[in-house]
């Protein structure tokens, strides 16, 4: 007797469904992509219970004849490629011809379609892969597909579904990306009878982004453009003030297809963080156009990953495009300097300096005769070879208390480092890290209640579903830390108060950074959240690298640093001081043995 047999089609479809149809969002993805391929300019998606009980995708595209509709539900039936060579140049989103039969094999499936000119359309009903009805029916122009009770006949799969909220969140996020990739299509998503997003479909990417992410986002968008031979990039990236806590606000589109790419994400991070050293991600809508034959989209059944023939070329193009967009025009980007130059940053630096002076404003302080600025040019003193730096580091690690006599400033290098001495040792102090430590300790001492300031103009801010959840769950804690927030709409909050030490002009940037640091922690405890908020606050309020300090200001900073419990590291764990003892100096100058 023979044990080997060929599987029947229904079984094959169910197996394929395992790859293509992972969850409601993947069904939506396939159906909407089909609608786009069918040249629709209006696509409406409706879901109930996260898509598990009901999903509907309606389009006004070209529709199908009865003959085509019957074929479409067969495995490997597609109108999009004819032979394997066509894979070299796939211009449509679909091409495998397995979505419809796979979806129909694990749900109650209903397809209605009508072509222009036809009086009647076609309706097909399939339950768990078995066609129960095919017939003529009155239908709207285009195609409507309903998928009910997903995985009703595969209970094991059903168990793997997340909560309805998570599933609808994914669908929401995905439709957002699709809408961004097609500003010329009007998208609408209805979730549990409520409209959750709608785009105008007038072909304007900026307008589309605003309709999706809130009108205020519009002001923070910088246009992005780049062209090099056969590569073209365009889209929008947000200003540093509109930093987001996760990459879910980033959409990459290659030749019209939404993709995930570690290389692209990394290139954006690198470019952005070269200019703005902080955590979080910019909002970005990035279109890339390149010869179809240099990419391979047939890597994965869900078609979300893409292989590039020359990944480093993409990387460089994205890096350059983002850098050019974010960098002020005409500036030859010097790392870190950008931050010190923007106007609003200047205000906050001044505010930070006031902090330095025990409540008195340094700016108004009768300054002692300023010592002649000893501005050492970068590179004229090579203080340490690699090896000696290591030994210096080990001294730093000992966490010894600074000598009480205190460090005396000698000068400032690169407007960033304070050079100091205390008689027998030489110190290099990172002014930003040092001030961060000082402020962090001061805020921590204010225990549970950080004083807050009312914002004159309340800010209405839009967040992602996930961010909103974090805020919702921690409203009280955030209030104790100086943030007055209240819900003002779906995924929207009104920001009314921020900690007193942060300039109000940076309130939005600030709350977004706090969220970014909160999101990095997985299920953070109250103590961790507090730590994250305090560290961000300290970082925001601290003087920046690139800011010129006068002698008195350096003196105050060093004194205050000396009074903290852990002067040698900033709240993020980076060193604040590098010390060269007289022994070490002697070693470096090969004086030992004399
Ligand atoms: P693929 O998209 O990979 O070709 P599908 O199983 O998703 O495979 O769809 C099979 C075929 O059905 C498509 O090639 C297309 O011809 C037709 N089709 C599917 N959805 C639509 C739609 N919304 N409008 C018009 N034709 C459609
Ligand atoms: Mg398809």
Which string of DSSP letters, residue by residue, matches 103-165?
HHHTSEEEEEEE-TT-SSEEEEEEETTEEEEEEEE---SEEEEEEESTTTT-HHHHHT---HH
pLDDT of 451 > 80? The answer is: no
Query: 339 CA to middle of ligand 2, Å?
Result: 47
The Cβ-side half-sphere exposure at 236, using a 13 Å CA radius, reads: 21
Greater model confidence, 98 or 138:
138
Q: How far is the CA of 98 from the centre of ligand 1 (A)?
A: 9
Distance in Å, CA 259 to ligand 1 centroid: 20
Among 299, 333, 358, where does a domain finish?
Answer: 358
94 lines ligand 1 (CB under 6 A): yes
- What pLDDT is stored for residue 263 in this prediction? 85
**CATH number of the domain within which 95 lies:** 3.30.565.10
Closest-approaching ligand to the CA atom of 75: 1
Is the shortest distance between the CB of 62 and ligand 1 below 6 Å?
yes
pLDDT at residue 397 is higher than 60: no
pLDDT at residue 415 greater than cutoff 80 = yes
Task: State pLDDT tens for residues 175-225.
Answer: 999 999 999 999 999 999 999 899 999 999 999 999 998 888 888 899 999
Mean pLDDT throughout 68-84?
A: 73
Looking at the fold, whether 309 and 412 belong to one and the same domain comes out as no
Stretch 44-62: mean pLDDT, rounded?
Answer: 97
Residues 442 and 333 both lie in one domain: no
Q: What is the CATH number of the domain that holds 245?
A: 3.30.230.10
Closest Cα to atom 13 of ligand 1:
78
Atom of ligand 1 nearest to the CA of 95: 3
Among 32-46, 126-140, 313-327, 400-414, whose mean pLDDT is lowest?
A: 400-414
CA of 71 to the centre of ligand 1 (A): 10
Residue 353 and residue 370 in one domain: no
In this structure, what token pair is assigned to residue 473? 């769950």
Does the residue 42 lie in any domain?
yes
Percent share of the chain, pLDDT over 70 = 77
Q: Does residue 405 have a pLDDT over 80?
A: no
Cα(30) to centroid(ligand 2), Å? 5
In a domain, 479, yes or no: yes
CA of 137 to the centre of ligand 2 (A): 23
Nearest to residue 253, comparing CAs of 299, 166, 314? 314
Q: Are residues 222 and 316 in the same domain?
A: yes
Chain-wide mean pLDDT for the chain?
A: 79
| One domain, residues 93 and 222 | no
319 and 219 in one domain? yes
- Atom 14 (ligand 1): residue with closest C-alpha? 78
In this structure, the answer to whether residues 331 and 464 fall within a common structural domain is no
Q: How far is the CA of 66 from the centre of ligand 2 (A)?
A: 18
Using DSSP, state whether 499 is helix, strand or coil. strand
pTM over 0.85: no
Atom 19 of ligand 1 has which residue's CA nearest to it? 34
**Is residue 34 lining ligand 1, measured as CB closer than 6 Å?**
yes
Q: Given a cut of 90, is residue 350 above it in pLDDT?
A: no
Answer yes or no: do 308 and 415 share one domain. no
72 lines ligand 1 (CB under 6 A): yes
Pairwise pLDDT comparison (231 vs 294), residue with the higher score? 231
Q: Is residue 4 part of a domain?
A: no
Residue 162: the pLDDT is 82
Confidence (pLDDT) at 94: 55
Q: Residue 302 above 90 pLDDT?
A: no
- Cα radius of gyration (the chain): 30
Contact 534, 446 (CB under 8 A): no
> In the sheet that 452-462 helps form, which strands lie side by side, from edge to edge?
452-462, 492-499, 484-489
Query: DSSP per residue over 463-481, as a string?
Result: --HHHHHHHHHTHHHHHHT
pLDDT of 92 > 70? The answer is no
Domain end call among 317, 337, 358: 358
Mutate to test the pocket of ligand 1, among 27, 78, 111, 144 (most ligand atoms within 8 A of CB): 78
CB atoms within 10 A of CB 330: 5
**What does 31-63 look like in DSSP terms, one character per residue?**
HHHHHHHTT-SEEEEEEEGGGTSEEEEEE-S--
**Ligand 1 atom closest to Cα of residue 142:** 24
Asked which of 198, 225, 248 is the last residue of a domain, the reply is: 198
Query: Which range among 215-224, 397-406, 411-420, 537-546 shows the weakest confidence by mean pLDDT?
Result: 397-406
Task: Assess whether pLDDT exceeds 70 at residue 396.
Answer: no
* Residue 245 or 364, more confident: 245
**How far is it, in rounded angstroms, from Cα 384 to Cα 560?**
27
pLDDT digits (tens, 9 = 90+) for 260-280: 888 898 889 888 877 765 667
Q: Are residues 383 and 347 in the same domain?
A: no
Q: Is residue 492 classed as helix, strand or coil in its secondary structure? A: strand
78 within ligand 1 shell (Cβ under 6 A): yes
Protein residue with least CA distance to atom 17, ligand 1: 72
pLDDT exceeds 70 at position 150: yes
What contacts 535, CB < 8 A, 6 or more positions away?
A: 436, 440, 517, 571, 572
- Give the pLDDT confidence score for residue 515 in this predicted structure: 83
Q: Is a pLDDT exceeding 70 seen at residue 395?
A: no
If one counts the domains in the chain, the total is 3
Q: Is residue 43 one of the residues assigned to a domain?
A: yes
Residue 281 belongs to domain spanning: 214-358
Q: What is the pLDDT of residues 226-259, one digit of tens each?
A: 998 899 999 999 987 778 888 889 999 998 888 8
Asked if the structure places residue 206 within a domain, the reply is no
Distance 55 CA to ligand 2 centre (A): 16
Residue 289 falls inside a structural domain: yes
Do 153 and 247 share a domain, yes or no?
no
pLDDT of residue 123: 97
| The predicted structure's pLDDT at residue 352 | 36
Which residue has the CA at smallest separation from atom 8 of ligand 1?
A: 97
173 shares its domain with 316: no
Distance 33 CA to ligand 2 centre (A): 6
Does a structural domain hold residue 424? yes
* Residue 531: half-sphere exposure toward Cβ, Cα within 13 Å: 11
Which of 39, 94, 99, 297 best tests ligand 1's pocket when mutated (most atoms within 8 Å of CB)? 94
Q: Domain of 589: which CATH number?
A: 3.30.1540.20
Residues 323 and 390 in one domain: no
Locus of tokens 């979505």:
99
pLDDT of residue 197: 92
What local confidence, expressed as pLDDT, does residue 211 receive?
Answer: 93
CA of 315 to the centre of ligand 2 (A): 30
Q: Which helix (H) or strand (E) holds 452?
A: strand 452-462
User: Closest Cα to atom 1, ligand 1: which residue?
Assistant: 97
The residue-averaged pLDDT of 374-379 equals 28
Q: Does 208 fall in a domain?
A: no
Cβ–ligand 1 distance for 93 under 6 Å, the answer: no
């Amino acid at each position: 007797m023979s044990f080997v047999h060929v599987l029947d089609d229904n079984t094959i479809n169910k197996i394929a469904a395992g790859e293509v149809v992972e969850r409601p969002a993947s069904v939506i993805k396939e159906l909407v992509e089909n609608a786009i391929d069918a040249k629709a300019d209006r696509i409406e998606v409706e879901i109930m219970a996260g898509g598990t009980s009901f999903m509907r995708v309606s389009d006004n595209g070209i529709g199908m004849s009865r003959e085509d509709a019957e074929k479409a539900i067969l495995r490997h039936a597609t109108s999009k490629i004819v032979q394997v060579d066509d894979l070299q140049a796939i211009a449509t989103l679909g091409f495998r011809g397995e979505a419809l039969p796979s979806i129909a094999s694990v749900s109650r499936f209903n397809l209605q379609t009508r072509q222009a000119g036809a009086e009647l359309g076609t309706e097909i009903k399939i339950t768990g892969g078995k066609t129960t009805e095919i017939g003529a029916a009155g239908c709207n122009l285009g195609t409507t597909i309903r998928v009910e009770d997903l995985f009703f006949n595969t209970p094991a799969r059903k168990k793997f579904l997340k909560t309805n909220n998570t599933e609808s969140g994914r669908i929401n996020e995905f439709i957002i990306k699709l809408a961004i990739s097609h500003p010329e299509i009007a998208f609408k998503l209805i979730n549990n009878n409520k409209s959750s997003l709608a785009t105008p479909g007038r072909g304007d990417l900026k307008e589309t982004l605003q309709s999706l992410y809130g009108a205020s986002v519009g002001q923070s968008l910088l246009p992005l453009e780049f062209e090099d031979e056969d590569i073209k990039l365009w889209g929008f990236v947000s200003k540093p003030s509109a930093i987001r806590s996760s990459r879910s606000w980033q959409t990459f589109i290659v030749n019209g297809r939404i993709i995930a790419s570690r290389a692209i994400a990394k290139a954006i991070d690198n470019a952005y963080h070269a200019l703005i050293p902080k955590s979080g991600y910019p909002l970005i809508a990035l279109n890339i156009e390149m010869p179809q034959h240099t990419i391979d989209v047939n890597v994965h059944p869900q078609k979300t990953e893409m292989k590039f023939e020359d990944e480093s070329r993409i990387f460089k193009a994205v890096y350059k495009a983002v850098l050019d967009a974010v960098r002020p025009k005409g500036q030859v980007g010097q790392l870190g300097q950008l931050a010190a130059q923007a106007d609003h940053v200047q205000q906050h630096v001044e505010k930070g300096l006031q902090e330095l002076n025990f409540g008195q404003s340094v700016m108004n302080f009768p300054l002692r005769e300023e010592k002649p600025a000893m501005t050492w040019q970068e590179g004229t003193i090579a203080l340490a070879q690699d090896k000696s730096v290591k030994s210096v580091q080990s001294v730093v690690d000992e966490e010894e208390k600074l000598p009480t006599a205190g460090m005396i400033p000698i000068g400032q290098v690169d407007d960033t480092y304070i050079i100091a001495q205390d008689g027998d040792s030489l110190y290099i102090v990172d002014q930003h890290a040092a001030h961060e430590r000082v402020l962090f300790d001061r805020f921590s001492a204010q225990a549970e209640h950080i004083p807050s300031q009312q914002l004159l103009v309340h800010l209405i801010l839009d967040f992602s579903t996930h961010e909103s959840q974090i805020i919702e769950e921690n409203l009280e804690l955030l209030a104790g830390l100086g943030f007055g927030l209240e819900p003002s709409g779906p995924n929207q909050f009104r920001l009314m108060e921020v900690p007193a030490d942060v300039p109000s002009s940076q309130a939005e940037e600030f709350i977004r950074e706090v969220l970014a640091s909160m999101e990095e922690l997985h299920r953070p405890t109250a103590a961790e959240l507090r730590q994250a908020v305090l560290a961000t606050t300290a970082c925001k309020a601290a003087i920046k690298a690139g800011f010129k300090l006068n002698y008195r200001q350096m003196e105050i900073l060093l004194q205050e640093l000396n009074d903290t419990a852990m002067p040698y590291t900033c709240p993020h764990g980076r060193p604040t001081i590098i010390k060269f003892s007289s022994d070490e100096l002697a070693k470096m100058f090969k004086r030992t043995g004399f």
